[in-house]
Structure 1
Amino acid sequence: MTGLFTLLKKGSKSSLMAAIVNFVLGTLKLVAYIFTGNVAMFAEMMHSYGDAANQLFVWVGSAVSKKAPNEKFPFGYGRLVNIVCLFAVIIVAILAYETVLEGFHHVMHPTHQEQTMQQFLIAVGVLLIGVVLEGTVLYKAGQEVLEEVHKPTNGIHPFTTSYANIGRAKPATKLVFMEDTVATGGGVIALIAIVIARFTGWTQIEGIVSIIIGLAMFYVVFKVFMENAAGAIGRADEEMEVHASKVILEHPEVSDIKRLVVMKEGEDKHVEALIEVRNHEFNLRQLTEIKKEITNNLLQQPHVTDVNIEIMEDDGLDDWKSGNGSSINRNIYE
């Protein structure tokens, strides 16, 4: 049991925080629905509870994915977080569909039910609380994004520069960040729509906003699904390959890179490289020292957990710059 709790502590903090916040919001919206009888508030309540279950699922998956490798799974459980995120976006897709469908029905068949001022204030108050809480989770997720890419996390950076770096974030963090971007933005425009509908009588605007939010959720589904599907299958990280090549070529004894692959296993990255050295007279101890230095430098890079380096003598060809990926039939020092 102690081991389980220790493992769960390694889960995505932003996912856990989002799950708690959405559960609280769902409960607030349930109370608001009881007092107002507003069907839209009931839908929002179900949406929040669905998001809470979704984020809890992601949190557990991200924790279990950090379980240590064993004989059965020698590369660890890293891809599990990709699989979990795939299941999570299915939930989001269902919610997005229901949101768009409800919005469409509301546009085609608008209701003109009169709300008392008390009911209006309750609805506005709950949405305001929702925007604040969702914005807090979004800020925290933005901080995690920036921490993972070693960028400043203070001030308004989590609301600004985090969007430019979201592509390099962990799958669970990215899912939470994108979902809460939609949730926070959706809460703001839903609040505006309720106010406009109240004072102008144009109730169709609530349906239009619902459709917009649903389409934004579908965009999140598409982006997250495509990335995690590739991650579950196993894909090369081209951006990290470029960065790793710079780290390797910085070593004074390395003349070229014959082959370099960086594979993503969930949040973890595995580096395999075949490099060429300048001096043909190196003994085994010197080659081992070069290999150790390069390996240590690569392990210091974000999310790199495993490095396999092979060394061969310089063949006089500029393979890395030319992009030649042909097979090698030469002596290789390990």
Structure 2
Amino acid sequence: MKELFQLLKEGNKSALTAAIVNVLVSVIKGATYIFTGNVAMFAETLHSLGDAANQFFVFVGSALSKKRPTKRFPNGFGRVVNLVLLGAVLVVGIMAFETIKEGISHIFHPTESTGFVINLVVLAVCTILESFVLVKAMREITHDVGLESHGLNLFKDSIANFGKAKAATRLVFLEDSVATGGGLLAMIAIIISHYTPYHQAEGIASALIGIMMFIVVGKVFLDNAAGAIGESDEGMQVQIGQLVMSDPDVQDIQVIKVLKEGDFYHVDVEVELNPALTLAEVDDIKDRLEESILQVPHVVDVLVSFDEDDAIRNWQYGDGR
């Protein structure tokens, strides 16, 4: 139990913050829906409820993925976060289906809802809360790549570096982008429905929110299915390859593999050396390369092997010298 609490301290903070905020938001929206019967509010309630459950499981999964390797699982538990995310998207998928179904029903059988002012106020407050979580996720994305961005640069840099962020952070970013956008869409629909006889607007908004949720489901599923199987990271391969080639004794790289498991990387590299080097010199090179590669963030283990230089260039990305 002590180990579990220790691991939870290392869980993804943006996921935990998002889960807490979305629990509060879903309760507020749900109570408002019960009193007003607004279908756009119903869509937002399910959306926030799904996000809350999703992000809580993501937080737990990201924490468990930090568990140290054991004899039974020598490669560690990095893929746990991918497996949890695959399960989490099922929750969002179910909520998305119910949201779309309710929206279509309201399009064909529109009804006028009540509580115009309270609906707008609740949606505005909840959208602001969700936007704070979105900004936190943006900051975490830029922090992961070593940037300290502010203002409009934060938005631009988080989009540009989205693919480099941790899996849990990417999910929070996607879900709260949809939550913020969905809140604004629901507010527009409520205004249209109140000031015009076009009450189908709320149903259309509900269906669109559900479709946006399905887009998140598809994106998260594809990303984490690859992660659960075990995918190579080409960007990290180039970075580590350039680091290896910057060593003065390395002539070429024969093979380099960087396997991503959750937020961690396993590196396997075969380098070519001058065959005239002594065994002691080769051993020093091995220690030097392993030490420098392990300093790269999120690299947890390195396997370095050697071959004699064949005078044929294999590495094609520059040598970093």
Q: TM-score, normalised by structure 1?
A: 0.90
Instruction: List structure 1 runs of 4+ shifted beyond 6 angstroms.
Output: none
Q: Which residue pairs with 2:306 in the alignment?
A: 311
CA contact (8 A) 1:17 1:137 kept: yes
Consecutive unaligned residues in structure 2, runs of 5 or more: none
What CA distance in whole angstroms lies between the structure 2 residues aligned with 1:289 and 1:268?
26
The match for 1:269 is: 265
Partner residue, 2:4: 4
**Pairing partner for 1:248 from 244, 250, 270:** 244
Deviation at 1:86, TM superposition (A): 0.2
Q: 1:54 offset after TM fit, Å? A: 1.4
**Which of residues 133, 137, 157 is equivalent to 2:133?**
137
1:196 matched to 2:192? The reply is yes
* Structure 2 residue 175 is matched with structure 1 residue 179: yes
Number of equivalences:
317
The alpha carbon displacement at 1:296 in A equals 2.2
1:91 offset after TM fit, Å?
Answer: 0.9
Per-residue displacement from partner, 1:32-80 (whole Å, max 9, x unpaired)?
Answer: 2344344543443333222211111111011001100000000000011
The SS at the match of 1:160 is helix
The residue type equivalent to 1:49 in the other structure is L
The share of aligned pairs that are identical, in percent, is 50
CA distance in 1, matches of 2:58, 2:246: 38
1:167-221 deviation per Cα after TM superposition (whole angstroms, max 9, x unaligned):
1111111111101111111111111111121112211112222222222111111
TM-score, with length taken from structure 2: 0.94
Spell out, residue by residue over 1:217-264, the C-alpha distance to the aligned partner (whole angstroms, 9 max, x if none): 111111111111111111111221122111111111111100110001
3-state DSSP class of the match of 1:311? strand
* Correspondence 1:1-334 to 2 at 5 A: 1-113=1-113, 115=114, 119-277=115-273, 279-321=274-316
**Partner SS state of residue 315, structure 2:** helix
Whether the 8 Å CA contact 1:149–1:302 is kept in 2: the answer is no
Please give the secondary structure, in 2, of the residue aligned with 1:112.
Answer: coil
1:97, 1:75 → 2: CA distance? 37
Q: How far apart, CA to CA, are the structure 2 residues paired with 1:176 and 1:305? A: 25
CA distance, structure 2, for counterparts of residue 149 and residue 233 of structure 1: 25
**Partners in 2 of 1:31 and 1:111 — Cα distance?**
19
**Mean alpha-carbon deviation: is it higher for 44-53 or for 17-26?**
44-53
TM-aligned CA deviation for residue 280 of structure 1: 2.5
CA distance in 2, matches of 1:53, 1:198: 32
Alpha-carbon contact 2:58-2:85 (below 8 Å) kept: yes
Structure 1 pair 205–303 and aligned structure 2 pair: CA distance change class (3 A): same
Task: Write the distance in 2 (CA, Å) between the matches of 1:164 and 1:262.
Answer: 22
User: CA contact under 8 A between 2:12 and 2:63: conserved in structure 1?
Assistant: yes
Deviations along 1:258-300, one digit per CA (max 9) or x if unpaired, are 01100011111101000012x3332233222222222222222
Question: Structure 1 counterpart of 2:240, which letter?
Answer: A
The aligned residue for residue 327 of structure 1 is: none
Mapped contact 1:197–1:205 kept (Cα < 8 A): yes
Q: Which has the bigger relative contact order, CA under 8 A and spacing at least 6?
A: 2
CA positional deviation for 1:11: 0.6
**Is contact 2:39–2:106 with CA below 8 Å preserved after alignment?**
no
**Which one-letter code corresponds to 1:155 in the other structure?**
G
Partner amino acid, structure 1, of 2:287: K
1:84 Cα deviation from its structure 2 partner: 0.3
Instruction: Report deviation, 1:4.
Output: 1.6
Q: Deviations 1:114-157 (Å, cap 9, x if unpaired)? A: x2xxx211111110111111100000011111111222233333
Verify the 8 A CA contact 2:40 2:205 in the aligned structure 1: no
Structure 1 portions without partners, runs of 5+: 323-334
Shift of 1:159: 2.4
Q: 1:102 to 1:35 in 2, by over 3 A?
A: closer
Comparing 134-143 and 98-107, the one that deviates more = 98-107
